[in-house]
């Protein structure tokens, strides 16, 4: 019996001669990351166990992206703890000040996470890097402390589920809609502790930005990781970025999957997730007649804050104004994306429309800062989660969509389809 790409990566990084789903194994790690929320806890545990030096200061990234620029004294203290530790341990990839970007967009952009890698991060959306053909998963801060010390971690080999998508995606439909559709079909626990392997002709044509979005949200189905086999599109993305050598792996034709799902998505519509689960999804045609008015629209995050997402939003917003009954907040995910958006004139389009532009930050996504919702407020967001209180008050509501739907909704003041707005080329 052959192996899936996930199993091949884990086998390569273990001392085992063979592995099967359910096996508990130790794996050597290529890269480790944490942010300003999770790193301080890991640093505390690192010191508690008596560790003196990290296993490799060039295989760790510390990225204070959740509450920076510091929103209060507590967040400032957290970042200081991370900064002091990074200096003490001579961590090569510590991002501070104007270098800070949203971790799951920044690290691929910097060429630090690569095909064939085994990666952990103290953040649940570490599964994003599966878009490059890597095994990547989130862990707790205690596990991260151990990994920083020894450069390895134990885990259970997950079973794999294969998702095959056929057809051609319609206009205004992308990776966000594919993953919302998928989660809607299998539920938020439908892939619990399993690898979600995305494949098929639709995936092979999908740009990297959309692949990142899909793997990013694998955790919203309970998955251990999301993954896509590397191809020409992957290699075009990583070749000029890679900071080290990498190995491309793929699944064997006779690999075993616990389940296989196949869908023709030629008629897929933009999808909207209603409160309070990413699985509570509806096609946009079933939403527009509900007159769901909004107080806030957010375009950004590790899910949809890439340059491609901003281009889509700008295409719709050009020549229009943000509805006076709501606020539109836009977050370029990294400094490079911000600069590129500025050079392309996207920032001017956003400002002319009446949007608020924030520095790269996770803040609005988790209700931390730069866009916290008040009681009774309703937001449409391009982020990955819409749990109770996710973006602010427990009695606020969060809907999820792609950037095109978000931009159109910001203009019309209610959840709307992109084709309801005149697009000025």
Question: Whole-model pTM above 0.85?
Answer: yes
Q: Could you tell me if residue 268 is inside a domain?
A: no
Coil, helix or strand at residue 41: helix
Same domain, residue pair 10 and 117 = yes
CA atoms within 13 A on the CB side of 116: 13
Tokens describing residue 15: 């001392």
**Residuewise pLDDT in 10s, the chain (425 residues):** 799 999 999 999 999 999 999 999 999 999 999 999 999 999 999 999 999 999 999 999 999 999 888 999 999 999 999 999 999 999 999 999 999 999 999 999 999 999 999 999 999 999 999 999 999 999 999 999 999 999 999 999 999 999 999 999 999 999 999 999 999 999 999 999 999 999 999 999 999 999 999 999 999 999 999 999 999 999 999 999 999 999 999 999 999 999 999 999 999 999 999 999 999 999 999 999 999 999 999 999 999 999 999 999 999 999 999 999 999 999 999 999 999 999 999 999 999 999 999 999 998 888 889 999 999 999 999 999 999 999 999 999 999 999 999 999 999 999 999 999 988 76
Q: What is the pLDDT of residue 337?
A: 98
Tokens describing residue 281: 């999804």
Same domain, residue pair 198 and 312 = no
Residue 257: closest CA among 160, 147, 336, 139:
160
Name the phi and psi angles at 97, rounded to 5. 60, -130
Range of the domain at 284: 274-420
Q: Could you tell me if residue 69 is inside a domain?
A: yes
Same domain, residue pair 170 and 208 = yes
**For residues 364-381, b (16+ Cβ closer than 10 Å) or e, as one string?**
bbbbbbbbbbeeebbbbb
- Chosen domain end from 262, 293, 308: 262
Same domain, residue pair 283 and 220 = no
- Chosen domain end from 235, 262, 289: 262
- Chosen domain end from 212, 237, 262: 262
Q: Could you tell me if residue 267 is inside a domain?
A: no
Same domain, residue pair 19 and 143 = yes
Q: How many domains does the chain have?
A: 2
Name the pairing type of β-strands 135-138 and 118-121: parallel
Same domain, residue pair 148 and 40 = yes
Q: What is the pLDDT of residue 1?
A: 77
Q: Could you tell me if residue 334 is inside a domain?
A: yes
Radius of gyration of the chain (CA): 21
Could you please report the per-residue DSSP string of 277-344? -TT-EEEGGGTGGG--B-SEEEE-HHHH-SHHHHHHHHHHHTT----TTSEEEE--SSHHHHHHHHHT
The string of pLDDT tens digits covering residues 219-241 is: 999 999 999 999 999 999 999 99
Same domain, residue pair 238 and 166 = yes
Q: Could you tell me if residue 236 is inside a domain?
A: yes
Same domain, residue pair 173 and 78 = yes
Same domain, residue pair 281 and 257 = no
Q: Could you tell me if residue 238 is inside a domain?
A: yes
Number of H helices, E strands in the chain: 14, 18
Q: Could you tell me if residue 425 is inside a domain?
A: no
What whole-number distance in Å separates Cα of residue 362 and Cα of residue 392? Answer: 13
Is 144 within 8 Å of 32 (Cβ atoms)?
A: yes
Residue with tokens 């959309």: 210
Same domain, residue pair 290 and 363 = yes
**Burial class (CB within 10 angstroms; exposed 0-12, middle 13-18, buried 19+) of 273:** buried
What whole-number distance in Å separates Cα of residue 42 and Cα of residue 48? Answer: 10
What whole-number distance in Å separates Cα of residue 168 and Cα of residue 155? Answer: 37
Same domain, residue pair 340 and 197 = no
Same domain, residue pair 33 and 161 = yes
Average model confidence (pLDDT) across the chain: 96
The string of pLDDT tens digits covering residues 339-389 is: 999 999 999 999 999 999 999 999 888 888 999 999 999 999 999 999 999
Q: Could you tell me if residue 269 is inside a domain?
A: no
Q: What is the CATH number of the domain that holds 252?
A: 3.30.499.10
């Amino acid at each position: 019996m052959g192996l899936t790409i996930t199993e091949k990566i884990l086998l390569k990084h273990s001392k085992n001669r063979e592995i099967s789903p359910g096996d508990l194994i130790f794996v050597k790690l290529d890269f480790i990351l944490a942010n300003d929320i999770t790193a301080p806890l890991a640093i505390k545990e690192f010191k508690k166990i008596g560790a003196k030096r990290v296993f490799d200061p060039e295989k760790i990234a510390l990225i204070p992206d959740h509450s920076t620029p510091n929103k209060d004294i507590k967040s400032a203290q957290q970042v200081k703890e991370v900064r002091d530790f990074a200096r003490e341990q001579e961590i090569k990839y510590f991002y501070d000040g104007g270098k800070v970007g949203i971790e799951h967009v920044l690290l691929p952009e910097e060429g630090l996470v690569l095909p064939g890698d085994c990666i952990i991060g103290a953040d649940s959306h570490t599964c994003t890097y599966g878009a490059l053909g890597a095994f990547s998963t989130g862990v707790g801060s205690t596990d991260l402390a151990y990994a920083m010390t020894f450069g390895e971690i134990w885990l259970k080999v997950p079973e794999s589920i294969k998702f095959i998508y056929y057809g051609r995606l319609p206009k205004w439909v992308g990776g966000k809609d594919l993953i919302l559709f998928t989660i809607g079909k299998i539920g938020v626990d439908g892939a619990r502790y399993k690898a979600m392997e995305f494949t098929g002709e639709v995936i092979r044509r999908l740009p990297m930005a959309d692949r990142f979005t899909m793997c990013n949200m694998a955790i919203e189905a309970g998955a251990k990781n999301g993954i896509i086999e590397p191809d020409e599109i992957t290699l075009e993305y990583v070749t000029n970025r890679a900071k080290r050598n990498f190995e491309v792996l793929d699944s064997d034709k006779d690999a075993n999957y616990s389940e296989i799902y196949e869908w023709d998505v030629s008629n897929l519509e933009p999808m909207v997730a209603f409160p309070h689960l990413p699985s509570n999804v509806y096609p946009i045609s079933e939403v527009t007649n509900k007159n769901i008015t909004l107080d806030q629209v957010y375009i950004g995050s590790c899910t949809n804050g890439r340059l491609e997402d901003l281009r889509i939003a700008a295409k719709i917003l050009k020549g229009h104004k943000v509805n006076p009954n709501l606020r539109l907040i836009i977050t370029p995910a990294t400094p490079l994306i911000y600069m590129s958006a500025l050079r392309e004139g996207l920032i001017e389009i956003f400002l002319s429309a009446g949007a608020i532009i924030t520095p790269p930050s996770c803040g609005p996504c988790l209700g931390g800062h730069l866009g916290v919702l008040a009681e009774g407020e309703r937001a449409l967001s391009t982020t990955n989660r819409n749990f109770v209180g996710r973006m602010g008050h427990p009695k606020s509501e969060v809907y999820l969509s792609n950037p095109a739907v978000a931009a159109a909704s910001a203009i019309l003041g209610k959840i709307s389809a992109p084709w309801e707005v005149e697009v000025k080329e």
